[in-house]
Amino acid sequence: MKKQVGIEALAIAVPRKYVDIAELAQARGVDPAKYTSGLGAKEMAVADPGEDSVALAASAAARLIQEQGVDTSRIGMLVVGTETGVDHAKPVASHVQGLLKLPRTMRSFDAQHACYGGTAGLMAASEWIASGAGAGRTALVICSDIARYGLNTAGEPTQGGGAVALLVSEQPDLLALDIGLNGASTQDVYDFWRPSGRREALVDGHYSIGCYLDALSGAYRGWRERALAHEVVRWGDTLPSEQLARILYHVPFCKMARKAHTQLRQCDLEASAATQNATPAEREELAKSTASYEAQVASSLTLNARIGNVYTASLYLALAGLMNAEAAALAGKRIGLLSYGSGCCSEFYSGVVGANAAQRIAKANVEGVLARRERISVAEYERIMNLASDAPEQLAPAPGEFRLKEIREHRRAYVAG
């Protein structure tokens, strides 16, 4: 039997505070419907300087290890996908190794390519295991980021922060990956970037949406070609994309998943013999299908709507949200996943939901993690945004979590709760 490889379990960590997105809109003199309906947001996570990408990554990984009973001695690879790391040389992964006392014998590194870095890490880990190079060991892949555009910017309502830790192994209880079918698309574009030394990202917002959709098309077509060749999907009464039970997208804001789904359907409709005689307008109507969006996408967005963009972790928050909503019903079914990182690189891949997915996600208690958060006012959010990144407030971390305590002589010190 072919070796199964994929995601065995996951855990999430989020900043302790959030703002209500309608309240933020009111404070900015914007119709709240623009943020809630136009962007699809409900709440936005607010990370304070103590909750940096190291603290969030370590908190998510500690929770994964504790809740899922992970045997840390079997971890042979640790990858952190992040674009908001804390040092140009020393990786977030090295901090996580130290804070969690993970094996000295493992390989560790950070993967950076904007929001795609987490998927790059997941693929490096999965293919390492599938190739046999892992010799039966497991991998820990952590996606950790803080999305920050700044006060009074167009990107402000699409900020957020958090981390998702993934255990990757030959026992893919959550999602067994279809190794070898992935499609990718890469292009040199300036859609979103953050020059060294800047805290806030720069973005050409509307252009970035076009880059995402263009890269999605290339990645999806690559996957579809291989999936058709392996008879994982086929041209028939339904479109190839309709044969995936659910499709998860990179979610910089929830409405983007809807635009992405329309684009994906366009790729199928343009290539389908059944719609060759349709006019472009008729094809566009079919692509926009609300029924298809509701059936294949909507249920994955609940966490993203309450947290905001988490760059590398956004796609994996959608996976956590989908599993939390529907794991039992999806057992044995194939889903598609689209990762996008500005700059840009996109990858479409697929996998089959495991029979034990419901038990695994129940242990992750994602609702419980969000329920412990505190809603803050817009004034308090603005105060936190204006704090210096190297002078964290001395707050006690919650049990099992980590915070940045201080930076002395350029060395960061963390405290565990």
Q: Which residues are catalytic?
A: 83, 115, 250
Does residue 100 bind ligand HMG (CB under 6 A)?
no
Does residue 103 bind ligand HMG (CB under 6 A)?
no
Specify the stretch interacting with ligand HMG by CB under 6 A; choose among 32-40, 67-75, 222-230, 391-399. Answer: 32-40
Q: How many CB atoms lie within 10 A of CB 32?
A: 16
Helix axes 117-131, 314-330, angle to 10 degrees: 60
Tell me the C-alpha distance between 169 and 166, whole Å: 10
CB of 105 to ligand HMG, least distance (A): 32
DSSP state of 292: H
Binding mask 176-195 for ligand HMG (x = CB under 6 A): ---------------xx---
Cβ closer to ligand HMG: 70 or 344?
A: 344
Exposure of 77 in the CB half-sphere (CA atoms within 13 A): 25
Binding mask 146-165 for ligand HMG (x = CB under 6 A): --------xx--x-------
Residues 212/256, Cβ–Cβ less than 8 Å: yes
What type of residue is 64? Answer: L
Among 340, 348, 381, 402, contact with ligand HMG (rule: CB under 6 A): 340
To which H or E segment does residue 325 belong?
helix 314-330
CB of 181 to ligand HMG, least distance (A): 23
Specify the stretch interacting with ligand HMG by CB under 6 A; choose among 36-44, 94-102, 118-126, 278-286. Answer: 36-44
Tell me the C-alpha distance between 96 and 99, whole Å: 5
- The SS3 assignment for 334 reads strand
- The SS3 assignment for 355 reads coil
Torsion of CA 124, 130, 133, 135, to 10 degrees: 120
Among 311, 381, 402, 414, contact with ligand HMG (rule: CB under 6 A): 311
Does residue 308 bind ligand HMG (CB under 6 A)?
no
CB of 315 to ligand HMG, least distance (A): 10
Tell me the C-alpha distance between 102 and 216, whole Å: 36
Parallel/antiparallel/unpaired status of strands 175-177 and 160-169: unpaired
Does residue 54 bind ligand HMG (CB under 6 A)?
no
Tell me the C-alpha distance between 348 and 336, whole Å: 7
| Residue ranges in 349-378 that form contacts with ligand HMG under rule CB under 6 A | none
Cβ closer to ligand HMG: 6 or 252?
A: 252
Does residue 288 bind ligand HMG (CB under 6 A)?
no
Cβ closer to ligand HMG: 190 or 235?
A: 190
Residues in contact with ligand HMG by CB under 6 A are 31, 33-34, 37-39, 83, 114-115, 154-155, 158, 191-192, 203, 205-206, 208-209, 212, 250, 252-253, 255-256, 309, 311, 340-342
